[in-house]
Amino acid sequence: MIELAPSLLAADLLHLGKEVEMMMDCGVSTLHFDVMDAHFVPNLSFGPSLCKTVKAAHPACTMDVHLMMDNPLDYVQVFADAGAHTLTLHLEVLEDVPGAMGAIRRAGMRCGLSVKPKTPAENLLPYLNTVDHILIMTVEPGFGGQKFMPEQVEKIRLLRSAGFTGVISVDGGVNAENAALLVRAGANHLVMGTAFFRADNPRRIADAIKELT
Ligand code: DX5
Ligand code: ZN
């Protein structure tokens, strides 16, 4: 099954509650939650209190949290307490990947590892048995609404041919047009910000993703 994870970053921030309700009404229950610290990426976004607020209002919502931070290990327990289901950290800032993934698991979450576009997928190979979820960035992290980088798709193929059977997520510039290509390459989790929350008809997008296998 292909999971669609709309990114809250692209939602109408003045009406977040309505946006999450709209997403759930479209039959989508995974929400991608981008946390930015203005160090790892040149932007600031949301923190754990908003994650907790969304989860409290929508207990059926699966919080897919992506930490774009220099010091993500300081926030593992904080996001567990805030209701995160999956916690994804960037490989670029980790010294001890198995230790970090173990801390996430012990806190009761699924563990994810992400790479920026310039980080080779080969750097992930030692950890394929350690992680539940790999997130391939297909834009430079920091902002929604950027153009998809097609050359990153090869990373998905490499991970599948190396035998990775967990979740492969793609984040950045994903839309209804490039979704099929990503799924064919082996992705099974599609983060979609602008293309979902700014769509004229988000339900049509959700239905189109459900058709993909
Ligand atoms: C970018 C974030 C993405 C972003 C995707 O740093 O990690 O999750 O919200 O937004 P779109 O789909 O608009 O590229
Ligand atoms: Zn993200």
**pLDDT tens, residue by residue, 52-64:** 999 999 999 999 9
* Statement: residue 39 has pLDDT above 80: yes
pLDDT over threshold 90, residue 115: yes
Asked if residue 117 lies in contact with residue 94, where contact means CB atoms within 8 angstroms, the answer is no
193 lines ligand 1 (CB under 6 A): yes
Question: Do 112 and 88 meet the contact criterion of CB atoms below 8 Å apart?
Answer: yes
- In angstroms, what CA-CA distances link 213 with 144, 150, 190, 202? 26, 20, 12, 19
pLDDT the model gives residue 46: 97
Edge-first strand order for the sheet with 189-192 is 3-6, 189-192, 167-171, 133-137, 110-115, 84-90, 62-68, 30-36
Helix, coil or strand: residue 54: helix
Structure tokens belonging to residue 41: 């990426």
Instruction: Provide the pLDDT for residue 64.
Output: 99
Mean pLDDT of the chain: 98
Does residue 71 have a pLDDT over 80?
A: yes
pLDDT in tens, 163-186: 999 999 999 999 999 999 999 999
Determine the residue of 12, 39, 87, 171 to mutate for testing ligand 1's pocket, defined as the one with the most ligand atoms within 8 A of the Cβ atom: 171
Reported confidence tier of residue 35, pLDDT bands at 50, 70, 90: very high
Please indicate whether residue 6, judged by its CB atom, sits closer than 6 Å to ligand 1.
no
Residues known to be catalytic: 34, 171
User: What band does 213 get if pLDDT is binned at 50, 70 and 90?
Assistant: confident
Cα(137) to ligand 2 centroid in Å equals: 8
pLDDT of residue 15: 97
Report whether 99 contacts 70 (CB < 8 A). no
Asked whether 64 lines ligand 1 (CB < 6 A), one says no
For the Cβ of 55 lying below 6 angstroms from any atom of ligand 1, the answer is no
Q: Which residues pair with 84 in a beta bridge?
A: 63
Ligand 1 pocket check: which of 44, 114, 143, 175 to mutate, most ligand atoms within 8 Å of Cβ? 143
Residue 37, pLDDT above cutoff 80: yes
- Per-residue confidence at 151, pLDDT binned at 50, 70, 90? very high
At 24, list the tokens: 């759930």
DSSP H or E segment with residue 88: strand 84-90
- The residue among 8, 13, 9, 33 whose CA lies nearest residue 23 is 8
